Amino acid sequence: MEKRRLGNLEVSALGLGCMRMSWSDTPVDRDDMIKLIRQAVELGITFFDTAEVYGPFTNEELLGEALEPFKGEVVIATKFGFKHIPGKGPTAGSGQDSRPEQIRRVAEASLKRLRVEAIDLFYQHRVDPKVPIEDVAGAVQDLIREGKVKHFGLSEASAETIRRAHAVQPVAAVQSEYSLWYREPEKEVLPTCEELNIGFVPFSPLGKGFLTGAVDENTTYEDWDLRARIPRFAPEVRKNNLALVHRITEFGKRKGATPGQIALAWLLAQKPWIVPIPGTRKLERLKENIGAVDIKLTDEDLHELEGILSEVTIIGGRYPESLEELTGR
């Protein structure tokens, strides 16, 4: 597979988001996930995304076991930044904690779970309003100097925060949501990354499954599924939002591609330093996603897609209101 660079870090053009391999209310066979992760390596994926909070802890342990045979061949990104509840560990609903002593504690524990000598890419999962970003960058810098971390990253950070952090410790990558139906990073974050030679890692590049064509007006979600609470998935706006998927599907047919592949190919065509990390628990979907790397969109294709995007207005927020406060600080 073609390679791309996140700052000075070389990775496959497409990564694999691993959160739902262990952070899910539906049964997941651990051995099956280990097999899938190793198949991803065989198919050319070298970039894997996890976090301490996924599980908590179990997702890092899963990757540690699955990728141990490929040490030196793959890049694992993990994250710090949430509070720990005694007996439960960190949860995304417990608030942020990026104090330097917490960052160090997370790093030491993640190294053991991942079975590595150094964390390839260590993201701040969400910006902590109580801890100056300069202190966060300085704490990660100390870990880099000690050889425990190789590269520093930020997730869902504003352009201003990125600049302040980068002035202390160079940022290799910024991870934020970005897709055909969420383009906010184009306003300030992507120009900042380009100026500072920072890679960009879109999560939810397939709109949490919406852009794959697998969702229709009759799709329902269990209460535990976050999509049951996401405004843009709401039944009353779904018909409107599906108009984008229908248009992308028709476009894809002419290119011999699925709508999901077009969504990923569009991201890859935006900048050579963009590396999407779609997640999946199915081999057939993994292969489909990887196929997007070989789809080269022409200037005419991109112009046509831009026209489609300008004609369809997506209704609804990308998160429930209770989670929006965690983004873009």
CA distance linking residue 33 with residue 20, whole number of Å: 10
The helices-and-strands tally (H runs, E runs) of the chain is 11, 11
DSSP annotation string for 83-135? -EETTTEE-GGG-B---HHHHHHHHHHHHHHHT-SSEEEEEESS--TTS-HHH
Terminal CA-CA length for the chain: 34
Q: Which of 54, 123, 178, 182 is catalytic?
A: 54
User: Would you call 319 a catalytic residue per the annotation?
Assistant: no
Radius of gyration of the chain (CA): 19
Residue with tokens 């990125």: 162
What distance separates the 2 farthest-apart alpha carbons in the chain?
A: 55
- β-bridge mates for residue 9, sequence order: 6
Written as one letter, the residue type at 295 is I
Residues designated catalytic: 54
